[in-house]
Amino acid sequence: MAERVAASLPLARARLVGAVRGFDWRQYIVYIAFALVFIYFSVTLHGSGFLTSTNLLNILRATATISIMAVAMTFVIGAAQIDLSVGATAGLASVTTAMTIQDHGMVLGIVVGILTGLVVGSVNGALVAAFAIPSFLVTLGMLGVAHGTAMWVTNTEPQPILNETYNNAFGSGDLGPVPSLVVWTLVAVVIGHVVLRKTSYGRRVLATGGNAMAARFSGVNTRLVTFLVLAAMGMTAGIAGMLYAGRLQSGRFQWGEGDELSVIAAVILGGTSLFGGRATVIGSLLGSVMIGLINNGLILAGLESSQQEIVRGAIIVVAVALARRK
C-alpha cells in the first residue's frame, strides 16, 4: 500500500524534479546578499579600514538596538501582526529611565524603563486582541501617544544620566574585548531563536500567523498569542530605549525615532514572511547587521548622508523583492 501511494501520485516525480531544479535560493537570499555585500566592501574599501576588528565591532554596536528590536518584531510579524510604535516606545523608555535614575537611583530606573515598554506593549496587545482593532492602526496611534508623552514629560529637554554603572552596563562599556551592546544583542538573539524554534509558545505564534482559524480550532488561544507578542515587543523596545540611554548617557525623546522602519526592514530582509506563519530570528539579525554594513560601507566610501539614504532604500527594496516567494 505504502509503495502504491508513493507511486500513484505525481508527487514522487515532482519531488525529484524539484530537488534537481532547486535549491530554493530565495530562502537564503539574505545570507547570499550578506556575503556579497561583505565581500564587495572588503575588496573596495580595503584601504579605508573596513575589515579592521574595530570597524566590524562598531557595525555590530551601531545596529544593536535595531537587532534587539528585530528579534521581538520577528515574533510580531510571524504572528501576522505589525508594530509601528517601537521607535517611539524606545524614546519614551529612555526618558523615563533617565528621569528615574536622576531621582531614585539605578535599580528603580531599570525597573521603570522595562515597565514603560511593557505597559505600552500591553496596551497595544490588549487593544488588538480584545477589540480586534488592526495592529497597524493601534500601533500607529501609539506611536503618536508615546512620542508625545516623551516630549511632554521632559519639556523636550534631554535628561542626562550620570550613573557610570548604568551607562557601562547598558551600552557604553565593554565586557572584556566585547562591547556590552554586542553582548545584549547575542543574548536577545539566542533567547529569541530558542523560544521561536523550540518552545510551544513559538510554535503557537507561527500557527496563529499561518492560519489563525486553524490554530484556534486546534486549541491555540490566538488572542493570548496576539497579546503576548505585542507586549513582549513593547518590553523589548523599552530595553532598546534603555540601551540608547546608556550609550548616549542621556534620555531623549528623539532616541529611536524612525527605528520602526529599520526594524521591519531587517525582519523582512531576513526572510520572515510579511503575511505571518514563517519567521526566522537568525535571519532578522543578519538583516539588521546587513543594513548596518551598508550604512558603514557607504560612510567609508564617502557618500553624503542624503546619498546614503537613497542607496540604502534601493538596496532594501531590491533585496526584499528578490527574497519574495512566488
Partner 1 sequence: MGAAAVSMRGISKSFSGVRVLDGVDFELRPGEIHALVGGNGAGKSTLMKILAGVYTLDAGTFEVGGHEVRFHSPHDARDTGVGMVFQEFSLVPTLTVAQNVFLTREARGFAGLLDDRESERRTRELFRTMEVDVDPRRSLDELPTVYWQLTEIAKALSQDARVLIMDEPTAALAKTETAQLFELMRRLKEQGIAIVYISHRMEEVFEVCDRITVLRDGRIVLTDDASKLTMQQVIDQIVGRKLEQAMEWKERHVADGAELLLEIRGLESGSRLRGIDLELRRGEILGLAGLMGSGRSELARAIFGIDAIHAGEIRVRGRQLKIRGPQDAIDAGIALIPEDRRAQGLILDHSVRDNFLLPLLGRLSRGGFVDDGKGDRLAQSFVERLTIRLRSIDQPIRLLSGGNQQKVVIAKWIGTEPQILLMDEPTAGVDIGTKGEIVDMIRAFAEAGNGVIIISSELPELLAVADRVLILREGRIERELGRREIQTEEQLHHAVQGVS
Per CB under 8 A, residues contacting partner 1 are 1-3, 5-6, 8-11, 14, 17, 194, 197-200, 202-204, 206-207, 209-211, 213-220, 273, 276-278
CB 114 within 8 A of CB 90: no
Shortest Cβ 26–partner 1 spacing (Å): 14
Q: Any residues with CB less than 8 A from the CB of 159 and at least 6 apart, and which?
A: 95, 98, 99, 102, 250, 251, 252
Q: Rank residues 197 and 312 by Cβ distance to partner 1 and give the closer one.
A: 197
Considering the complex, state which of residue 88 and residue 212 has its C-beta at the smaller distance from partner 1: 212
Q: Which is nearer to partner 1, 78 or 87 (CB)?
A: 78
* Amino acid at the residue 322: L
**Please, are residues 251 and 159 in contact by the beta-carbon 8 Å criterion?**
yes
DSSP string, 241-267: HHHHHHHHTEE-TTTTTTHHHHHHHHH
Q: What cell numbers appear for 260 in the block? A: 520602526
Q: Which is nearer to partner 1, 117 or 202 (CB)?
A: 202
Q: How far is the CB of 19 from partner 1 (least distance, A)?
A: 12
Shortest distance, position 181 Cβ to partner 1, whole Å:
28
Neighbours of 52 (CB within 10 A): 10
Least distance to partner 1, CB of residue 317, Å? 24
Q: How far apart are CA 46 and CA 44, in angstroms?
A: 6
Nearest to partner 1 of 278, 312 (CB atom): 278
Q: How far is the CB of 225 from partner 1 (least distance, A)?
A: 11
